[in-house]
Amino acid sequence: MATKFIIHGGFAGHVNDQNDAFFKEILQDTSDNPKVLLVYFAKELDRIPVNKEEDLVQFGRNKGSKSISLQVADEGSFVEQVKNADVIYLHGGNTLKLIETLKKFPRLRELVDGKVVAGESAGAYALSTLFYSKRASGDQASEGLGFVPVQTICHYSGENAEKLPENPKLETLLLPDYQYRVF
């Protein structure tokens, strides 16, 4: 399978039809027993149990007949966890914290080959080449890891598109909450 990237605009934990479609898209091309790695590196520690519970609900609602195993990523064993996973789900939260943590794994792009990689909010920014987030970027665009050749604004509400530079090599994604794109 070719690597499948899914970029989500934010608040994937909310139960609604749009997020159901997102979680179904994540699982669509996986085996009957997919291993999902939940990456909470952007989260404060006290938020992880809440987000894990949301993920259990969302994957449970949208798995169909699949038997899913969920594992929470740990920095110390992250490389092995990625190798063993079918799906890597990069959660939202503190974008700069997530990107700095992921940069500790220089072979990450190679490790995710052939897998489904979904990024929501901060996770979407990490996968993008460029992004703009007022909280993470201040007044200008910032660099993501560049796994997907896009420049992204998540939680888009009609503002700040001008913060992304004109770049014919990058598709511009202006993603409102609950919206996603597949690459």
Domain ranges of the chain: 4-182
The confidence score (pLDDT) of residue 180 equals 99
Distance in angstroms (rounded) separating the CA atoms of residues 176 and 153: 8
Q: How many CA atoms lie within 13 A of 15 on its CB side?
A: 10
The CATH number of the structural domain formed by 4-182 is 3.40.50.880
Q: How far from 88 is each of 115, 175, 179, CA to CA, in Å?
A: 8, 20, 19
The confidence score (pLDDT) of residue 110 equals 98
The confidence score (pLDDT) of residue 63 equals 98
Could you state, in chain order, the average pLDDT of each consecutive group of 10 residues for the chain (183 residues)?
A: 97 98 98 99 95 97 98 98 99 97 98 99 98 86 98 97 95 99 99
